[in-house]
Structure 1
Amino acid sequence: MLPWALPFVLPANEAAFWTANILGRALVFGIIAMSLTFLATYGGFISLAQMMVAGIAGYTLAILVDGAVPHILGGFGYGAAIPLGLLAATLMGLLVGAISVRTRDIYLLMITLALAMGVFRFIETNIAWFNGYEGIRNVVGPTLFGQDFRNPLVFYHIALATAVLLYAGILYLVRTPFGLVLQGIRDNPRRVAALGYSVGLHRIAAFGVAGFIAGCGGILSTIYNIGISPGSIGLGATVNVLIMSVIGGLGHPVGAFIGSLIYTVFDTFAATIYDRDRFNTLIGVVFLAIVLVSPDGAIGIGARLRRLLARRP
């Protein structure tokens, strides 16, 4: 079934809930997780700063847009504030890449995590620009063709269109000379450097692309939550994005959306299925089970099932 038609086949009494709280939220998380998956799949490095980069886009939107509470800068319509938020996220992605360009593996993980937590603490304690712990509210999104942006159907289809365009953009980008060089750097950076390519600049540019992708998710997340607060870019949110990416599988960008959907479903219903006070335990068990059964995540499980079915007479 085509994804755009999903809200129309759900039961009428549950359509709004599933469209907004499950499908729409999974798409938003999936876009942010896809920025991490893009770096891991085609660059060979994992960044723990992607949720922070998404938050930069969200905070830029909230600070600039007219009508947000509290009024910090304001005066901008969504048509100007959204591109500026994406620009801010892209620049932050480039900055993260420039700082971490000479690190790899666990050192890359630690420096990107340190950057994410540093920005989180700065935002959390800054009242003048970010309103500290309380964050910024009333970021309701624009009105499109007379429709409220936060209408479940409208939001879902905008998030879906954004996800499809970004996904298609990644598949196109990795086939360009830039994408091929990036994959060469993933496999053998010394050989790529010997061919005359700048390994450092390509890695920084990859972080910039991932920053733009995360920024799209950050803009949608801020409108979905009608605002943004420091908790949305804290350690818990950072780890959740990593969990989604690993559950879905780091071998292909589509794994980000599979993982985000699995995580969103369990995050929504785990308290009812297991225990309201220990619902994170169930999420952790599901995460461990998928990783132990298939280190490639849900994509790996699907590939194994296809191979088993192909062998049957």
Structure 2
Amino acid sequence: MSAARWRRAMNARGTVAPPPRPAPAVSLRTVPSQPIDNARRWIDALREHIGPHHIVVLAGLLVLPFVASPFFTFQVAAQALVLGLIALSLTFLAGYGGMVSLAQMTVAGIAGYALAVLGTSSSAEISLGWPWWAAVPFALLIATIAATLIGWLSVRTEGIYTIMITLAIGVAFYYLVLQNYSLFNGFQGLRELKPPTVFGITWRDPLPFYFLALAWSLGGYLLVRWIVRTPFGIALQGIRDNPRRMRALGFHVVAHRVAAYALAGAIAAVGGILLAWYNALMSPGSVGTSWLINILVIAVLGGMRHPIGAFLGALVFVLLQTFAIDLIDRERFNLVIGGVFLAIVLFSPDGLLGLWAMLRSRLAPRPGLTSNQRRQP
């Protein structure tokens, strides 16, 4: 072995490999916890949008049927929830989309008639006799498709033209069910539309039906509150304010409006199913011109810019409809509704909630003023 090779071998033996570096300590703080972050985000959102007054109102609604009479629970509270759910669909369209539709009661009527034709009714020769768990989803689907078609026809117009198109569609459907006997049984309608008995509970009894209507109304309300804060809802409000600018920014205005009609139609369809079960019938009077206008009146009474306004307006409407006959004749009920409607619109364009906000702003003490200064005119 040469001297050079010997030195290289000795150098290789004497070389000590550096010790391995210890692995970095894993800290629990640096590990992303996606489920925990999502839970915290949901809790923060609930704290932001749900205040003590929401909890008080919900507690009152839950306790109401146990302290009120069955008549008030069914005839007033449950009916107000059903009509408020249908009016909520119009509030969503008009308040957040800028589209006033008079066909929301028509969509609800389509769902009710579809349920009567597909399910069971007094006219066995017309109804197909499907079970409720099959008839209800198909009725909702048919009404939602109808609402989408109505939106596709009317979104290309604005203002008074949209109102006239939807009114014409509503009137056309009214005469269709009035004059068609083979499918809709004419002016007599389809009767004995009773909700199913599930878990041994008869859902048309005052207490079960009230909680059924309350659950769906609460679901519709929370859905609208969530939708208007999503990117779709924000874009829809931008289209309401300035459709030309939103189109220039790359948004498909027609598609957003048609999707809004479809969503509002699904909400109105649920209300139509509940309305058919509440009345136990579907007749042309349920989708007549008067009810097309009544849904608009209910939405305006409560306030178009607030989802809860639909239910507040429905409660006022049902209370007047139920107890106004004790003061005036039944034939003059529309005069009372018209007077209340005009008074609220004149003093508060935003309905009862706008009137309440106005009163709160006037009664609230101004910062920096003493008690003596507040008393001065």
- Specify the alignment match of 2:192 in structure 1: 138
- Structure 1 counterpart SS, 2:305: coil
Aligned residues: 309
Distance in 2 (CA, whole Å) between partners of 1:116 and 1:275 is: 28
- Specify the alignment match of 1:166 in structure 2: 220
Counterpart contact for 1:97–1:207, Cα < 8 Å: yes
**Counterpart mapping for 1:1-313 below 5 A:** 1=56, 2=59, 3-10=61-68, 15-311=69-365
CA-to-aligned-CA distance 1:119-150 (integer Å, 9 cap, x gap): 11111111111111110011101112111110
Letter in 1 for 2:298: M
Letter in 1 for 2:73: T
Deviation, structure 1 residue 68: 4.2
Distance in 1 (CA, whole Å) between partners of 2:314 and 2:109 is: 18
Distance in 1 (CA, whole Å) between partners of 2:182 and 2:213 is: 31
Distance in 2 (CA, whole Å) between partners of 1:9 and 1:247 is: 27
User: Structure 2 regions of 5+ residues with no counterpart?
Assistant: 1-55, 372-377
Distance in 1 (CA, whole Å) between partners of 2:88 and 2:222 is: 12
Distance in 2 (CA, whole Å) between partners of 1:126 and 1:291 is: 39
Counterpart contact for 2:121–2:191, Cα < 8 Å: no
Deviation, structure 1 residue 73: 3.5
Distance in 2 (CA, whole Å) between partners of 1:267 and 1:230 is: 20
Distance in 2 (CA, whole Å) between partners of 1:90 and 1:7 is: 32
Distance in 2 (CA, whole Å) between partners of 1:9 and 1:309 is: 33
Distance in 2 (CA, whole Å) between partners of 1:159 and 1:213 is: 12
Counterpart contact for 2:121–2:127, Cα < 8 Å: no
Distance in 2 (CA, whole Å) between partners of 1:290 and 1:22 is: 22
CA-to-aligned-CA distance 1:51-96 (integer Å, 9 cap, x gap): 0000000000000113443441423111111111111111011000
For the pair shown, the structure with the greater C-alpha radius of gyration is: 2
Distance in 1 (CA, whole Å) between partners of 2:331 and 2:226 is: 44
Deviation, structure 1 residue 8: 1.3
Counterpart contact for 1:66–1:76, Cα < 8 Å: yes
After the TM superposition, which of the residue ranges 210-219 and 303-312 deviates more from structure 2? 303-312
Deviation, structure 1 residue 275: 2.5
Distance in 1 (CA, whole Å) between partners of 2:294 and 2:287 is: 10
> Whose relative contact order is higher, 1 or 2, with alpha carbons under 8 Å and at least 6 apart?
1
Identity of aligned residues (%): 50
- Normalised by the length of structure 1, the TM-score is 0.96
Distance in 2 (CA, whole Å) between partners of 1:61 and 1:292 is: 40
After the TM superposition, which of the residue ranges 123-132 and 301-310 deviates more from structure 2? 301-310
Counterpart contact for 1:32–1:217, Cα < 8 Å: yes
Distance in 2 (CA, whole Å) between partners of 1:226 and 1:69 is: 13
After the TM superposition, which of the residue ranges 63-72 and 246-255 deviates more from structure 2? 63-72
Deviation, structure 1 residue 283: 2.0
Distance in 2 (CA, whole Å) between partners of 1:277 and 1:204 is: 39
User: Structure 1 regions of 5+ residues with no counterpart?
Assistant: none
Runs of 4+ that moved beyond 4 A:
none
CA-to-aligned-CA distance 1:144-184 (integer Å, 9 cap, x gap): 21111101010000100000011101111111121111111
- Structure 2 counterpart SS, 1:295: coil
- Normalised by the length of structure 2, the TM-score is 0.80
Counterpart contact for 1:65–1:75, Cα < 8 Å: yes
Counterpart contact for 2:298–2:317, Cα < 8 Å: yes
- Structure 1 counterpart SS, 2:182: helix
Distance in 2 (CA, whole Å) between partners of 1:48 and 1:290 is: 20
